[in-house]
Structure 1
Amino acid sequence: MSKEIQASLSELDKVVTYLNETLPNNAIVFLRGDLAAGKTTLTQAIAKAKGIEGEVTSPTFSLQQCYGAEDGTYLYHYDLYRLEHEEFMQLGLFEEFEKEGWHMVEWGSDTLKAFLEGVGYNVVTIDIEPKENSRIYRIEA
């Protein structure tokens, strides 16, 4: 699967709709882009579409946030900035990917992605690139 979508903030539902139509109920999604590219903003839009109420924030200092909707849908949000693969494994975060739901991973390393794919997970990567008043979302699976 390979798709490129250009969307402004008001058109972000185009990206979310595409993801909802193509991703399985359990997915690991690596979000890539520079600071302020829109990784957390996309996660917020996904959470809203999944019926998750309340504030969705970047887990910069906690490493992980878990959100649940009334229908039992779960969304996990990770911020692995400056966290090396070995530290990630030592913290036991790998086991979190066994939980049902979408796992949105900001700043995930290539090493972690290769490891997850090597043990049988399908990992989707979304590269986010700012462009004028919009963003380009390059989705690869």
Structure 2
Amino acid sequence: MIQTVEASLEELRSVAETIKRSVPENAVIFLRGDLAAGKTTLAKALAEVLGYKEAVTSPTFSIQQVYGDRLYHYDLYQCPNEKFMAMGLLESLEEPGWHLVEWGDEALRTMLREYGFDTAVVEITQKEDGGRRYRIETDA
């Protein structure tokens, strides 16, 4: 299923609520968009909607951040799929909860789907008025 939502930064919570209603509880969610598109900002909004109060930061250098016991955040910008696998991060995707993956490619999504993971993609594009367009694609 594909949904498209347009929102300003102030309306980001409604985008997160739409994702919460649309994506299964235990899924790998690929956050895609250009640099500075708002992937980590969306991750913050998703954490807030899920009730997490702790700070959400980009895992650019650590590759993985864990918030609470059911929200995981990965940044694969400098981590090719082979390195992701070698680091044992594939096994961490088996933990219950949402796994937000920035910069994950379609090859990784295809592999995860073959392994039986539920996946979703949120493609973020910047609009001329400063808002964003969120294209939400789920497996179901």
Partner of 1:35: 35
Partner-residue secondary structure (3-state), 2:93: helix
CA contact (8 A) 2:26 2:118 kept: no
Q: How many Å separate the matches in 1 of 2:80 and 2:130?
A: 33
Q: How many Å separate the matches in 2 of 1:97 and 1:54?
A: 21
Letter in 2 for 1:29: I
The alignment's C-alpha RMSD in Å is: 1.0
Partner of 2:59: 59
Partner of 1:112: 108
Q: Offset at 1:82? A: 2.2
Q: 1:50-101 CA deviation, whole Å, 9 max, x = no partner?
A: 1111210000000000001xxxx52100000021111111110000111011
CA contact (8 A) 2:24 2:118 kept: no
CA contact (8 A) 2:73 2:100 kept: yes
Which 5+ residue runs of structure 2 have no aligned equivalent? none
Aligned residues: 137
Q: How many Å separate the matches in 1 of 2:23 and 2:83?
A: 28
Partner of 2:87: 91
1:140 aligns with 2:137: yes
Normalised to the residue count of structure 2, the TM-score between the two structures is: 0.94
Q: How many Å separate the matches in 1 of 2:45 and 2:78?
A: 25
Letter in 2 for 1:95: E
1:2 aligns with 2:2: yes
Q: How many Å separate the matches in 2 of 1:37 and 1:64?
A: 20
Which 5+ residue runs of structure 1 have no aligned equivalent? none
Q: Offset at 1:125? A: 0.4
Letter in 2 for 1:20: K
Q: How many Å separate the matches in 2 of 1:17 and 1:48?
A: 10
Q: How many Å separate the matches in 2 of 1:127 and 1:28?
A: 14
Q: How many Å separate the matches in 2 of 1:135 and 1:42?
A: 11
Partner-residue secondary structure (3-state), 1:98: coil
Q: Offset at 1:114? A: 1.1
Q: How many Å separate the matches in 2 of 1:96 and 1:58?
A: 18
Partner-residue secondary structure (3-state), 1:139: strand
Q: Offset at 1:18? A: 0.9
Partner of 1:80: 76
Normalised to the residue count of structure 1, the TM-score between the two structures is: 0.93
